[in-house]
């Protein structure tokens, strides 16, 4: 059998994945309408009443509250924050389908290479761990960890490891198992001047896992007494490890984050594990980078509240302030906790109980409050200039949060700032308006620079039913088409002459045409497997859901029965829908002719004018000649 085409492969993976089973791995689903539909608490927004609908017959899902929807691929993309090829890979593995080498335009071999890299990292994790718990030369490492409060049990649970003081220890062990290329690609070893050497040498190792619990890199800490300048060292970025996306211990913390709806973010893995071992398990750590937008986006899927913990020193305060500015736009309940006396969480837990730490976390000030205090210490509010700067800082912050505009919360915050700075609410409100205006202008400039997701806005407009009359005609046609795709050919003739104009709907139509050309038949699932953009997938599910709710397929069927001649004729229901499109074109062409007619009137006037001017010029010329000769 020849290798499947990318689309055949997608279709295969889709057909081998049951959406109910897949989603039920993440949320509890209840059957409705005798199993024709399932509902559950939506994992994409803070859901109190089950809003997520799963349709087994269509293999789609949609949340009627937050409007997230799609198929099995979209679900994994949104849920695991991965790209389409990654979602495809995850589901293929889940269904035990071997992945063809060449997929979705990726360079040949990359899939295999990634899988090999993960295998190598998993193997290395074991090797490091066994060395830590059993090798004689790991004795200082064991003592260091025991001194820091790690038990053997926790060393096992978090798979801590040790790399002995030997620059080729791992590479020698890999001999016959993994090629130097795989070891280099997984960043387990490195090379310089043509010679290879192990990374992580003579360090205690903290394996860094992806969300699926697979080792993707290691964080290494030197032992006390080592003269190495870098106390902590994280593995470099690799095809499977991206610092800006990965959070340490998310695999261990996820359940508790989901339960408590709150996540605590600390700055290092030792602090993070100190919290876990003390019994506070909704804690993750960044990996030598500040928290990024991608981190927050990932955390928002589980948590309503994000508590950032910073050291109480000056650098920590400044880092905290920067984070507040960046993350308020993300619209999470952001809290900032700075620990007393410049302590980090591990220090704090040495002298206090975990309940004390919990109390601090629970009472962490909201980001606004933190920022106000920070600005106040920075600029002071005794002078007019200082107050001005604090005001600017605060309104710029408020302007970052679109959902705040016009809310009750906004008036409370404005009143609060006005009171604290002894200003009138009106002047704070005016400053906020200025800040929003300048942010909007800036945003417009920035938007030109970043590559937009092409369909986001258009698809959202359709889902929120903000369509004009012309677009409505096109939308209705697509609804009928998806409800009864077997009538595709009737649409083809009409749309050839009267094409769609809404770019999003036109794109969907193009995909229908392409699907039919390739497979001779249009089906909903075929169309779904062709479309990869999550916005379009979501829109397709929406259209399909609406069509089902309106019973359009039944209406078309009934209309077929009523057709006097059997077969071959377009069902009257569709005739009417298609007539609307033709009629639109006719109406428009009439308007064009009318415009042309009025234009001709104008043109005539201009011609007349030109003629008059020419006449005048001729007259003047004649006159001049007469004068000269006369
Ligand atoms: Zn939702």
d(CA 68, ligand 1 centre) in Å: 6
Measured CA to CA, the distance from residue 362 to residue 356 in angstroms comes to: 10
CA distance 399 to 239: 37
Place 450 in a pLDDT band, splitting at 50, 70 and 90.
Answer: very low
Q: Is the pLDDT at 148 greater than 80, yes or no?
A: yes
């109406």: which residue's tokens? 587
Q: What is the Å distance from ligand 1's center to 358 Cα? A: 29
| Whether residue 216 has pLDDT greater than 90 | yes
The first and second tokens of residue 150, run together, are 């790690």
Residue range 596-605: mean pLDDT, rounded: 61
Q: Read off the DSSP letter of residue 240.
A: T
Taking residue 445's Cβ as centre, other Cβ atoms within 10 Å add up to: 8
Distance 464 CA to ligand 1 centre (A): 15
Distance 222 CA to ligand 1 centre (A): 45
Distance 305 CA to ligand 1 centre (A): 17
Total Cβ atoms within 10 A of residue 70: 25
In contact, 397 and 383? CB cutoff 8 Å: no
CA 252 to ligand 1 center in whole angstroms: 24
The continuous run of DSSP H or E covering 269 comes out as helix 269-278
Q: How many angstroms separate the alpha carbon of residue 446 from the centre of ligand 1?
A: 29
Helix and strand counts by DSSP (H, E) for the chain: 27, 15
Which DSSP helix (H) or strand (E) runs through 433? helix 425-449
How far, in Å, from the CA of 458 to the mean position of ligand 1?
20
* Percent over 70 (pLDDT), the chain: 86
Contacts of 374 (CB under 8 A, 6+ apart): 317, 320, 321, 324
* 72-80 vs 534-549: helix crossing angle, rounded to 10: 130
C-alpha of residue 69 to centroid of ligand 1, in Å: 9
**What is the Å distance from ligand 1's center to 67 Cα?**
6
For the ranges 217-221, 240-244, 346-350, 531-535, which has the lowest average pLDDT? Answer: 531-535
Alpha-carbon span 156 to 227, nearest angstrom: 28
Q: How far is the CA of 41 from the centre of ligand 1 (A)?
A: 8
The stretch 215-242 carries a mean pLDDT of: 87
Q: What is the pLDDT of residues 464-486, one digit of tens each?
A: 777 888 888 899 999 999 999 98
Ligand 1 center from residue 45 Cα (angstroms): 5
Distance between Cα 62 and ligand 1 center (Å): 8
Distance 463 CA to ligand 1 centre (A): 14
pLDDT band at 214 (very low <50, low <70, confident <90, very high): very high
* Residue pointed to by tokens 């590479």: 171
In three-state secondary structure terms, 241 is strand
Enumerate long-range contacts of 279-284, CB under 8 Å, 24 or more apart.
Answer: 279/354, 280/354, 280/357, 280/358, 280/361, 281/252, 281/253, 281/256, 282/253, 282/256, 282/257, 283/249, 283/253, 283/345, 284/247, 284/248, 284/249, 284/250, 284/253, 284/257
- Give the mean pLDDT of 65-90: 86
Mean pLDDT of the chain: 84
As a whole-number percent, the residues of the chain with pLDDT over 90 amount to 33
Q: What is the DSSP letter of 403?
A: G
- According to the model, what pLDDT value does residue 101 have? 63
Give the whole-angstrom CA distance, residue 249 versus residue 240.
16
Q: How far away, in angstroms, is 16 Cα from ligand 1 center? A: 25
Q: Tokens for 562? A: 């009523």
pLDDT-derived band at 401 (thresholds 50, 70, 90) equals confident
Integer Cα distance of 45 and 41 in angstroms:
9
Please tell me the distance between residue 465's alpha carbon and the centre of ligand 1 in angstroms: 18
Question: How far, in Å, is the centroid of ligand 1 from the Cα of 278?
Answer: 34
Alpha-carbon distances, residue 386 vs 277, 315, 379, 381, 469 (angstroms) = 44, 22, 5, 5, 54
Q: What are phi and psi of 319, to 5 degrees?
A: -60, -40
Q: Whose structure tokens read 């913390």?
A: 253
Q: What is the pLDDT averaged over residues 255-266?
A: 91
Most distant CA atoms of the chain, gap in Å = 127
């Amino acid at each position: 059998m020849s290798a499947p085409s990318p689309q055949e492969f997608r279709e295969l993976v889709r057909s081998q994945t049951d959406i109910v089973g897949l989603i039920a791995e993440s949320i509890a689903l209840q059957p409705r309408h005798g199993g024709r539909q399932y509902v559950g608490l939506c994992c994409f927004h803070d859901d109190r009443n089950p809003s997520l609908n799963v349709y087994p017959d269509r293999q789609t899902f949609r949340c009627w509250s937050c409007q997230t929807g799609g198929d099995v691929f979209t679900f994994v993309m949104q849920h695991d924050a991965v790209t389409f090829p990654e979602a495809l890979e995850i589901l293929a593995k889940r269904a035990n389908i071997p992945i063809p080498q060449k997929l979705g335009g990726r360079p040949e071999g990359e899939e295999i290479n990634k899988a090999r890299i993960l295998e190598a990292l998993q193997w290395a994790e074991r090797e490091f761990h066994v060395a830590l718990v059993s090798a004689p030369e790991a004795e200082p490492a064991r003592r260091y960890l025991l001194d820091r409060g790690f038990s053997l049990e926790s060393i096992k649970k978090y798979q801590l490891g040790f790399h002995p003081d030997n620059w080729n220890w791992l590479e020698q062990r890999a001999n016959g198992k993994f090629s130097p290329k795989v070891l280099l690609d997984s960043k387990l070893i490195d090379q310089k001047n043509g010679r290879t050497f192990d990374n992580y040498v003579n360090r205690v190792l903290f394996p860094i896992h992806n969300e699926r619990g697979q080792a993707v890199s290691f964080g290494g800490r030197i032992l006390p007494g080592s003269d190495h300048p870098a106390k902590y060292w994280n593995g470099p970025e690799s095809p499977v490890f991206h610092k800006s996306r990965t959070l340490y211990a998310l695999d261990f913390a996820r359940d508790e984050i989901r339960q408590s709806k709150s996540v605590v973010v600390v700055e290092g893995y030792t602090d993070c594990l100190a919290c876990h071992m003390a019994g506070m398990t909704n804690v993750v750590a960044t990996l030598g980078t500040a928290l990024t937008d991608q981190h927050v986006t990932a955390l928002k899927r589980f948590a309503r509240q994000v508590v950032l913990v910073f050291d109480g020193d000056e650098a920590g305060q400044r880092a905290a302030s920067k984070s507040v500015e960046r993350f308020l736009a993300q619209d999470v309940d952001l809290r900032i906790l700075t620990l007393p006396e410049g302590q980090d969480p591990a220090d704090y837990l040495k002298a206090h109980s975990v309940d004390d730490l919990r109390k601090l976390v629970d009472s962490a000030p909201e980001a606004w409050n933190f920022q106000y205090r920070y600005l106040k210490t920075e600029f002071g509010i005794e002078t007019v200039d200082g107050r001005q700067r604090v005001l600017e800082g605060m309104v710029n912050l408020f302007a970052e949060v679109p959902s705040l505009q016009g809310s009750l919360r906004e008036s409370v915050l404005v009143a609060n700032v006005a009171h604290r700075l002894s200003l009138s609410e009106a002047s704070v409100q005016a400053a906020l308006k200025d800040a929003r205006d300048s942010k909007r202008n800036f945003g417009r400039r920035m938007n030109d620079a970043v590559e937009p997701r092409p369909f986001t806005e258009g698809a959202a407009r359709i889902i929120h039913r903000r369509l004009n009359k012309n677009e409505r005609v096109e939308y209705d046609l697509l609804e009928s088409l998806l409800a009864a795709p077997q009538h595709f050919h009737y649409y083809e003739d009409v749309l050839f002459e009267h094409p769609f104009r809404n770019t999003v709907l036109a794109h969907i139509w193009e995909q229908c045409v392409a699907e039919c050309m390739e497979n001779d038949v249009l089906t909903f699932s075929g169309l779904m497997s062709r479309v990869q953009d999550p916005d379009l997938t979501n829109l397709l599910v929406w259209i399909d859901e609406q069509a089902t709710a309106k019973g359009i397929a039944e209406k078309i069927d009934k209309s077929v029965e009523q057709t006097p001649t059997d077969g071959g004729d377009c069902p009257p229901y569709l005739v009417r829908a298609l007539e609307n499109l033709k009629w639109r074109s006719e109406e428009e062409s009439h308007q064009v002719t009318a415009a042309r007619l009025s234009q001709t009137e104008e043109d005539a006037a201009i011609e007349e004018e030109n003629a008059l001017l020419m006449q005048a010029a001729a007259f003047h010329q004649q006159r001049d000649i007469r004068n000269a000769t006369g």
